[in-house]
A and B are shown apart, each in its own frame.
Chain A
């Protein structure tokens, strides 16, 4: 190799060393893609770069983001998915709404709704970890059970406008809806606990290699059980957020919500097999996929093409992610 060739290789090696690797790279790529989307849309329609867009995207992120956090914990623990998270959230929303209609004050109504989520999480843990049913089968069954039972009792509930829930959640802090801050707090706590605390490291260890974790004295069943319960807790909180956003809560969930949750987690770099990934990547993924629909409408793309574009962006991003994983 010539001297100039060696110099070039060394320079490239130095540049490469500066580039983030692994999950940091996932986050960076997603954030850069998001930035490119925002800049391009802003250039086309300057009105896009406004507080209105921030509010719209914040609302897009809040409800789904809390569910993403819950399912992310389950995924990280190696227990795959919780497909019942959406209907659990909807039912929690119906519970809090119904109790408010019946004259309950907000704190006990909130507690009952969140406890319902915890109960469903515990039931999922029991089905998966004690009865040995596959997580997808167990949580899918739970999804049908909760949604079926809910529909027997209630179709929709109108939420009183003067209730504490509507009054408080309707406001904003620093120009951003309060529901977004709720999501951000939940997200940050979970991300920090997983990354920096002993229970978090246990979760990652069990998700990465359950046998090795067991050899170190960690109980995978206990860790994964807690993961399901926390996912239920997140679903309960998501239900409160959902109930605060409009005049009605209905017993049916928007079609494809569970698919969206899982897409965000996979795009954010969480491994399907558990134990790998960072919540910073998941947040970047949530940000990107929550901004995309707003940008698409601003670009004037017709409704028929919207799911095609969203699907395409997701497929390309997942393919790139998968290739990177294989390389590693």
Chain B
């Protein structure tokens, strides 16, 4: 008996089964998601990133930041994500699919060599801190294993009497008279990072509701703003 057709049809069936389950069905279910109107604030979530942040996403992608940083908060009980303060929704609510609606490339990441960045835009809002951290991570986080991204900056010595550019990083006391300027890529990357936040109260990510109901007053309905985490 010629078994070739049997193997071919069997393989086709198995491929079709996994394709329908993991490609077609998820597309049917979440492929048409749209922005959500948060009634309390009247704002839409997620917010479409600004132009510079959008450019920054390309820098994030090109330099492979997602190999060391994740961008997903798991629910409480699954790892220490919520306990570490990486989530920004009240209570144990995790990242949901709608959060990524406007990412040109969804880079959830698969390893945490560095901390999760889902809500880095809420934890660290200081642009200069981010630039300095990209230029020399260990100056702000001693012992950090993050490589410095000096190639995103230009460095030159100031001529006598020359003014420092307003864009320049704070002067390093060890190297006076040297100016470090962020490139457009570095600025875009920081715009992207500071724009990252997943804190919208959604139907599928509701404000955390604590039982008993009697005690769940206004506090439960309003998303709790997370305490800013210490700079790392």
Instruction: Verify that A and B bind, or say they do not.
Output: no
Chain A residues within CB distance 8 Å of chain B: none
Chain B residues within CB distance 8 Å of chain A: none
